[in-house]
Structure 1
């Protein structure tokens, strides 16, 4: 089995295309040393390779440039510039839309799909099937009607079996596509190693009124952020939603696991990654989604997402871990959470030891190894703080709540994490919502999702989906 994030053998991106370093990649020693990727790595460029990287970009106009670009793309340090890739025919993709009722939303979606693109609508046991059939007929879409509701995975597979084009676009009925969404995503398939790609999923251009709608516009579960990514377990973007997903048909095999009613898109992506196939998230392309804005529906959906963690843990083990920490990060977090007189000295000693280890083993030979080593340690500490807060407030909150009843230290750590995390996320998202309501919505979001995770674990009689993963550091040369 190939390690996730690597690729099978074969040609890469076409000559003349361009790749660009990710915006979160840090450069040292005049650009000779790169730090970033997913999971984070330190990469040294050979003397001949350094000049090929100009203003953070590499044009694939020589064999050496192509090899360097492929290496950086495979490590998640660089991403193709989609505008530099040649277009593919839109007739080469078939749109598959699973739907249950929602005739009005389906009509809105189909109206935005350009002429010449074949469409298959799969009615997944609608209570009013005639309305769905009329919309499909009006837009010239092929209709497949399932006699009973079998779930989104089965509905997509029913459509997939009828696809005769090399590519398929799975799109939920409550999504709105811009005219350039599918054509732009198709350009990515100039990379023959690519199995699937997804856009950034945002709310509607005209969102519903209310604070919850404004929160969802900034912090939807389907919005994976503004930075492109190579998608695989433990990446910064570990999955892509099937709300809008374009894939190479011959890479999908039998498609989605029909036993899953939730998390089927995560399962598909992780199976593809385990096969060594490449999956990409491109936030320069967007699709619009009709987010839930009624509080009870919103809350139920967040919890529903969480229930899928148990089934994913059964299939993919530690890939679903709520946090991935190095041993030194786990010790540092435990020391600081203890809030004892020795906590800060122990955490500081660990950080100093790690920095010295980095300077000796990893950054040796760089122009300023101590500075680079300190930077690596700082990045690790920031990631540790973020993941620890997520454990306290999201995945382990029932334990945190119990601890708050008996321990002042737990109450203090929880309050600090809740406020600091909320304020930092408010600053990052810049929502059209004041800090207080944003932080409250974020905490309720966490409580609902965490409740779903625990409900799934209890029903499945396994806490595997709640266990963090302790992993050693990676180094690339």
Structure 2
């Protein structure tokens, strides 16, 4: 089975009585629930007196009638509020599917740690050289030819009858009540897919520096903030190493993909009108590559998927997405000239005035507009730096070889981008172990080189430059 026939979108958007949502306090500036600013893209919502009457002082709304239903749905879909379901499906309504290839030890560890709580378990052996064995009570499916993780997961779904299916890779170990925490989200009938946070399985204090970087900054770790997942948003997808899906909203993994099949599934699911949630309260440990060579080779492999995504999803896979004014401003700043700085300042004023018109009725609207403008410019600079260092680094190498001015500029960008990202990561997750800025900068640059190598490998293999084509909107 490759792609399944298109799944119809959710039959209902009605939240059940008792379902609750929580307004993200970052959207309520100074605790002001009257005016909410947030979401992606940025939205401004003014709460009416009746809406405020439905909302508790801390921003909680409980669904109990048509009015609270409409308000909760609007806030959820805008990304300004997050779900707080009171109940969800039972574990007995779930099948756990484990795809595996040549990892008996991982399967043994996962099944030994797994508390299914009534869920069925299906292990799909994707043509391991030594056939996988499982204990009694676990269903085993074996492929005689290697077909890839997408096909293995699809086969597990086909062998199950439950309405909900949880996917766990064989190198993962779920933590605590992960499944119960995720199942509650399916009380929302529009949710087709939910994912936990994926963290390092090993203790970062007792591993190599390469493994410490992998544990702290794995591309599978989507961070500490819950979010509505959507292409083009700060959280564009969730990894398939650990996720739970609703059968009626499951489109099937594309079996022609050996990499990025999870991104493809998320984007197709979103395109059908379903919602995807990321909930970092639920965690799953993952055995990351602990050697530098293995880690970088994995990053390169992930990079090869960009060309495949671009061929299927076009602009959604673009390495750079920007508005024309912001792109001009960023390029102007990067010239490090007085003329460039003046032009960027003029554009900043233009962006500020446009944003201020949007939030002008909000208390402290000018401050919010200034902050939003600064964040946009900061993101634009980081995106440009990442593109030069990651997506387009082969071109940067050529420029580095022929231009002394570019060499100085490139070195400054390489250091500044790494330092900015180190600070950003510490601010987002202050309780996480701290890696030295020097080590982080070194491994981030190696990470970029590996991913960029894979990206160009995929572009050359497919003879399609779509994964390198920026998207600049008016």
Q: TM-score, normalised by structure 1?
A: 0.91
2:456 — aligned with what?
454
1:214 — aligned with what?
212
Query: CA contact under 8 A between 2:181 and 2:281: conserved in structure 1?
Result: no
- Identify which of 417, 422, 427 aligns with 1:421: 417
1:71 — aligned with what?
74
Describe how 1:69-148 pairs up with structure 2 within 5 A.
Answer: 69-81=72-84, 84-114=85-115, 115-129=117-131, 132-133=132-133, 136=134, 138-148=135-145
Deviations 1:164-201 (A, max 9, x none): 00000111000001241112111111111100000000
Deviation of residue 396 (structure 1)? 1.4
Deviation of residue 220 (structure 1)? 0.3
Query: CA contact under 8 A between 2:167 and 2:240: conserved in structure 1?
Result: yes
Cα separation, 1, equivalents of 2:468 and 2:300: 15
Query: CA contact under 8 A between 1:124 and 1:149: conserved in structure 2?
Result: yes
Whether 1:363 and 2:334 are equivalent positions in the alignment is no
Whether 1:287 and 2:284 are equivalent positions in the alignment is yes
Query: CA contact under 8 A between 1:215 and 1:431: conserved in structure 2?
Result: no
Cα separation, 1, equivalents of 2:318 and 2:327: 14
Query: CA contact under 8 A between 2:10 and 2:249: conserved in structure 1?
Result: no
Whether 1:150 and 2:147 are equivalent positions in the alignment is yes
Cα separation, 1, equivalents of 2:164 and 2:111: 18
Deviations 1:55-109 (A, max 9, x none): 233232443232122111111221112xx42142111000111111211110111
Describe how 1:226-241 pairs up with structure 2 within 5 A.
Answer: 226-241=224-239
**Measured at CA, do residues 290 and 31 of structure 1 come closer, stay the same or move farther in structure 2, by a change above 3 Å?**
same
2:196 — aligned with what?
199
2:244 — aligned with what?
246
Q: Which runs of 5+ in 1 are unaligned?
A: 1-6, 473-477
Query: CA contact under 8 A between 1:214 and 1:431: conserved in structure 2?
Result: no
Q: RMSD value over aligned CA atoms?
A: 2.0
1:406 — aligned with what?
402
**SS state of the match for residue 49, structure 1?**
helix
1:389 — aligned with what?
385
1:475 — aligned with what?
none
**Measured at CA, do residues 366 and 438 of structure 1 come closer, stay the same or move farther in structure 2, by a change above 3 Å?**
closer
2:42 — aligned with what?
40
**Measured at CA, do residues 45 and 23 of structure 1 come closer, stay the same or move farther in structure 2, by a change above 3 Å?**
closer
Query: CA contact under 8 A between 1:125 and 1:149: conserved in structure 2?
Result: yes
**Measured at CA, do residues 317 and 23 of structure 1 come closer, stay the same or move farther in structure 2, by a change above 3 Å?**
farther
Cα separation, 2, equivalents of 1:9 and 1:369: 39
Q: Which runs of 5+ in 2 are unaligned?
A: 1-8, 427-431
2:4 — aligned with what?
none
**SS state of the match for residue 347, structure 2?**
helix
- Identify which of 318, 324, 327 aligns with 2:324: 327
Deviations 1:115-166 (A, max 9, x none): 522111111000000xx12xx1x25210111011111111111111111000
Cα separation, 2, equivalents of 1:166 and 1:230: 22
Whether 1:377 and 2:373 are equivalent positions in the alignment is yes
Deviations 1:189-225 (A, max 9, x none): 1111100000000011435611011111210010011
1:3 — aligned with what?
none
Query: CA contact under 8 A between 2:88 and 2:186: conserved in structure 1?
Result: no
Query: CA contact under 8 A between 1:198 and 1:282: conserved in structure 2?
Result: yes
**Measured at CA, do residues 165 and 45 of structure 1 come closer, stay the same or move farther in structure 2, by a change above 3 Å?**
same
Deviation of residue 264 (structure 1)? 0.6
Deviations 1:30-73 (A, max 9, x none): 33332221233333333432342532332324432321221111
Cα separation, 2, equivalents of 1:444 and 1:431: 21
Deviates more, 1:84-93 or 1:344-353: 84-93
**SS state of the match for residue 304, structure 2?**
helix
